[in-house]
Amino acid sequence: MPASTRKLVLPGGAGFLGRLLAPWLAERGWEVVVLSRRNETVPGAACTVFWDGANLGAWHRELDGAAAVVNLAGRSVNCRYHERNRREIMASRVRSTQVLGEAIAACQQPPTVWLNSSTATIYKHSFEWAMTEERGEIGGTPAAKDEFSVRVAQTWEQTFAAAPTPGTRKVALRLGMVLGLERGTVFQVLWRLTRLRLGGAMAGGRQYVSWIHEVDFCRAVEWLLAHEEIGGPVNVVAPSPIPNRAMMAEFRRACGVRVGLPAEQWMLEVGSFFLRTETELVIKSRRVVPKRLVDAGFEFRYPTLGPAIDELVARLRAGGDARDPTITFARQPAVAQAG
């Protein structure tokens, strides 16, 4: 790809994933333009341009002549699913995808590739069956309380697929839980619970967690931008989903904590009410594997959870975090995976 065309537009780039991706791509020669509702500087971005995620505006000119679009827009699902939040969760994903499709269709020089966020939650709740792009079963399960989330994912991907952009390659990123050091994200929450001796199995601990280290998330996006043969849905998760019970054991090991109190599902229901979130985020079993990435030759730097946690802890040990007094470390040095 010629250097003169390496402009990438990043809608929703002011969030956690955008703040990972923008500097990663900028360091590798991309000119990154963030589209955001918030007027703030994003590390690595050449500039931030206002958009509302719903209507065409001056922002659409950024797409004309750009090489790529990576859409990360969408309201957080870490909330109670009452009617207003449901509407906002759905609209923030579907309408932003629609309006990007309209903008790309109107370009004289449309982007050659459009990566759009999706979610591994689209697959059916499963303990036994590993879900791949080709053989994964899509649908909700009442026991997992995930019918709304699956409906959002399906509508989101259908809107993306239907966008009239025939000259643009499209990839739906079915993302798992991204582990990174951003304050308030999953890794920090689980680390804090573990330090407080609350890092035991949750709701029995049989449910699988599909995850990916922040570095592999960025590497996978970069890889998908470059591989013109890849289109359609791609599972962006590590190749080793892990049961919740085993995941929490890895956190306790890295934390130097021997005991973690378990949480039954009724306890999670009570806790989620007071924390203004939903138990589905914990109780659903997402046993998802990245078959298309692996078959096409992508190599994960952190294919298993233990080294992924150790690398994050090593960076916390090196830099610390004065904002959160519960982030402390085991006396033995953590081992970071090389490479």
Secondary structure (3-state) at 250: helix
Ranges of residues in the chain whose predicted pLDDT is under 70: 1-5, 266, 270-278, 320-339
The pLDDT assigned to 252 comes to: 96
Handedness of CA 134, 123, 71, 159 (dihedral sign): positive
CA distance 336 to 339: 9
CA distance 18 to 339: 23
pLDDT in tens, 26-42: 999 999 999 999 888 99
Residue 216 in any domain: the answer is: yes
Residues 63 and 104: beta-carbon distance below 8 Å? yes
Residue 295 in any domain: the answer is: no
Q: What is the CATH number of the domain that holds 68?
A: 3.40.50.720
**Structural domains in the chain (count):** 1
Secondary structure (3-state) at 235: strand
The pLDDT assigned to 269 comes to: 72
Residue 111 in any domain: the answer is: yes
Handedness of CA 251, 257, 263, 269 (dihedral sign): negative
pLDDT in tens, 97-106: 999 999 999 9
Residue 241 in any domain: the answer is: no
Residue 312 in any domain: the answer is: no
* Structural domain of 152: 3-183+211-236
The pTM of this model reads 0.90
What six digits make up the tokens of 102?
């309209």
Residue 247 in any domain: the answer is: no
Residues contacting 258, CB < 8 A, separation 6+:
252
Residue 23 in any domain: the answer is: yes
